[in-house]
Chain A
Amino acid sequence: MKFEGTDSYVATRDLTLAVNAAVALQRPLLIKGEPGTGKTLLAEEVARALNMPLFQWHVKSTTKAQQGLYEYDAVSRLRDSQLGDPRVEDISHYIMHGVLWQAFECEQPSVVLIDEIDKADIEFPNDLLRELDRMEFHCYELHRTIKAKHRPLIIITSNNEKELPDAFLRRCFFHYIKFPDKETMQRIVEVHFPILKHELLKEALEVFFDLREVPGLKKKPSTSELIDWLKLLLAEDIPPEVLRAKDAKDAIPPLHGALLKNEQDVHLFERLAFMSRRKS
């Protein structure tokens, strides 16, 4: 079965090829790209399209690799022992299964999302090498090796905050989602707003891509901002003509707060607009 995108997710050829390579050769797929280019969403959509259960692991700065395998809740056990709870005899009651354990024991092939791996400590990826390679790990408390019944498809996202170790990279396939071009963006918008008026979409995309060209922006608006903005335009019933103002550069687009989230960017943009208006 091949991944080709879904009715709610637009995947370009390079992305589907990467996903299908990872599925076929059973390697983890590392995804990078600008914020809001659909990295996190990809795992959900792949799972849905290929009809596989999804296990999600959202990484934080304090996340440890071990937590993805299992955790031994020694404190509960101590408490139970002091309360004389008979459960205390069986240590397995205190072994909390992590995301990888759940995926390994799953009765069918599954998708595992390790989201924002770069947030964790730099040792985190290294601590997972063996697990990703062999798809197994040992639980010392139970004297048992947990081995994947089916190798899950592992999708890892990164926002580039930390460099990932080479040994880890060698085990992954890698794809960088580049910012969608106009045509792709149009398709993305269409899956979100199937009934959007063609006129409005065209004008809105013009404004959006122009805005991304404004030099010196701290944060260029991304897909998710575009979609939020379109929602607002629709809610406010803004007619396409308003966006058209032929020299779009000197008009400030309505509701631009949805596109520019950074105060400095808004100022910069307003100043530029003001200056070019004075010029003309």
Chain B
Amino acid sequence: MLVDFFLHLKSRQLPVSTKELLALLEALEARLVTGSLDDFYLLSRTLLIKDEALYDRFDRAFGEYFKGIEALPGFDAMVPEEWLELAARKHLSEADRARLQKLGYEKVLEQLNERLAEQKERHAGGSKWIGTAGTSPFGHGGYNPEGVRIGGESVGNRTAIKVWDQREFRNLDDTVDLGVRNIKVALRRLRRFARKGAATELDLDGTIAGTARNGGWLDLQLRPERHNAIKVLLFLDVGGSMDDHIQACEELFSAARAEFKHLEHFYFHNCVYESVWKDNRRRHGEKLPTWDVIHTYGPDYKLIFVGDASMSPYEVGRPGGSVEHWNEEAGDIWLQRLVDAWPRAAWLNPLAENYWNYTPSIGMIRAVIGNDRMFPLTLDGLERAMRSLSK
């Protein structure tokens, strides 16, 4: 049964390993929990899941697997007979026990499990659970299915909804969107990507220690340089439709700024034209010619756009299409120039990927930067973007 459960988790894309399965077996053998499914839930979560972002997925997988089951099914294989007897004595009537004796515990458990498996509806009231007709081995009126929680101690006031059904950790799931917490995880992706490219520098402490060890003869020690050598140009869209995503962008920006020693950022509105600006508050005052930017930063920089790429097609494809000023040359020409200057480019789009096809301007921009270079501003998207950038 545990192996089944384990495989079920794997099929739900939970990264569980055999090592962890063995730990769970060990825990059950050590009787860390008894038959209470609630405790089994907590225990298996503690032992199998190593990231709170996966808690929600685990909750769902657990709910699926144990749907309609109140106690640990198949747990009987590991449960000593006397122990079942004890449970039975506690919960069953005289007649039940007589029947039990006749059928044997295994048979009864089996029947019970079948019955539980048949139970389609969740959160059904206790009385509906196991048949109340006299045919059931457990079939006495007023029987409370909680009673069969094999040997399980009650976990205090139980509510109708199981812990794993409450989906408490939903907001920690990282496939949903970037969000306040997830940006931190995004930062780690950037960091991993930022760790490449090592040079060497003098390790002063190492040299002193080495020299001392050498009895005073100089022993030079070198070590890989720690600060990261990745260079990034970040172009941020501050157009009106980006207002909804300001927080995500801000956080991405400050995360990136902390990570990259060589980070330059520029703002644009909807699409890039002949000028960009560095300070969003004074954008009409301090414009920077885009040509200057192109000429200033070498081809070893990586180019990252952040924007929803959603605008009227004219803003991308026509001279004079910009909503803010008269642009002599069309936006896509400028985009092309940037991509030519820094071929390693990615576009992060806060809009959900499934909307992209409905917005013509997104298609136009992808045609310039490359179809496979726009990524959703989600964790997964960021990860893919970083991978593509480091190629």
Q: Interface on A for B, CB 8 Å cutoff?
A: 13-14, 17-18, 20-21, 24-25, 27, 30, 32, 72, 74-75, 77-78, 81, 122, 160-163, 166, 169-176, 178, 216
Contacts and interface: CB of A to CB of B under 8 A. Distances in A.
Contacts of B52: 32, 176
B216 A78 contact: yes
Given A174-B50, A216-B247, A25 B43 contact: no
Contact of A173 (B47, B168, B172): B47
5 contacts: A18-B46, A21-B46, A25-B30, A122-B195, A160-B184
A218 to B, nearest CB: 8
Contacts of A172: 50
Contacts of B169: 176, 178
B43 A17 contact: yes
A71 B15 CA distance: 37
A174 B155 contact: no
B23 A27 contact: yes
A21 B27 contact: yes
Interface residues of B, number: 40
Contacts of B195: 122
B213 A74 contact: yes
Nearest to A75: B212
A196 B42 CA distance: 33
B188 interface: yes
Prevailing SS type, chain B contact patch = helix
Nearest to A30: B50
Nearest to B188: A163
Nearest to B251: A218
A21 B39 CA distance: 11
6 closest Cβ pairs, A-B complex: A176-B52, A78-B212, A74-B212, A169-B50, A18-B46, A174-B50
A160 B184 CA distance: 8
Contacts of A175: 46
Interface of B: 15, 17, 19-20, 23, 26-27, 30, 32-33, 39, 42-43, 46-47, 49-52, 55, 155-156, 168-169, 172, 181, 184-185, 187-188, 191-192, 195, 208-209, 212-213, 215-216, 247
Given A74-B209, A175-B46, 15 more contacts: A14-B42, A17-B46, A18-B46, A20-B32, A21-B43, A25-B23, A25-B26, A30-B50, A72-B209, A78-B216, A169-B51, A170-B19, A174-B46, A176-B52, A176-B169
A25 B42 contact: no
Contacts of B192: 122, 163
A253 B329 CA distance: 55
Contacts of A74: 208-209, 212-213
Specify which of B19, B46, B49, B51 lies most central, judged by the most chain A CB atoms within 10 Å of its CB. B46
Nearest to B172: A176
B208 A25 contact: no
A162 B30 contact: no
Nearest to A82: B216
Nearest to A72: B209
A174 B32 contact: no
Contacts of A27: 23
A21 B32 contact: yes
A24 to B, nearest CB: 5
A171 B209 CA distance: 33
B53 to A, nearest CB: 9
Given A24-B32, A161-B184, A18 B42 contact: yes
Nearest to B189: A163
A227 B51 CA distance: 29
A62 to B, nearest CB: 10
Contacts of A14: 42, 46
Nearest to B55: A176
Contacts of B32: 17, 20-21, 24-25
Contacts of B212: 74-75, 77-78
A122 B168 CA distance: 30
Contact of B42 (A17, A75, A162, A163): A17
A27 B33 CA distance: 17
A24 B26 CA distance: 10
Contacts of B20: 170
A161 B55 CA distance: 19
B275 to A, nearest CB: 30
B185 A160 contact: yes
B55 to A, nearest CB: 7
A24 B184 contact: no
Contacts of B155: 13
A5 B192 CA distance: 38
B174 to A, nearest CB: 11
A206 B124 CA distance: 34
Contacts of A163: 185, 188, 192
Contacts of B181: 160
Given A17-B33, A25-B26, A178 B168 contact: yes
Given A17-B39, A162-B191, A169-B50, A75 B208 contact: yes
A72 B206 CA distance: 12
A163 B208 CA distance: 33
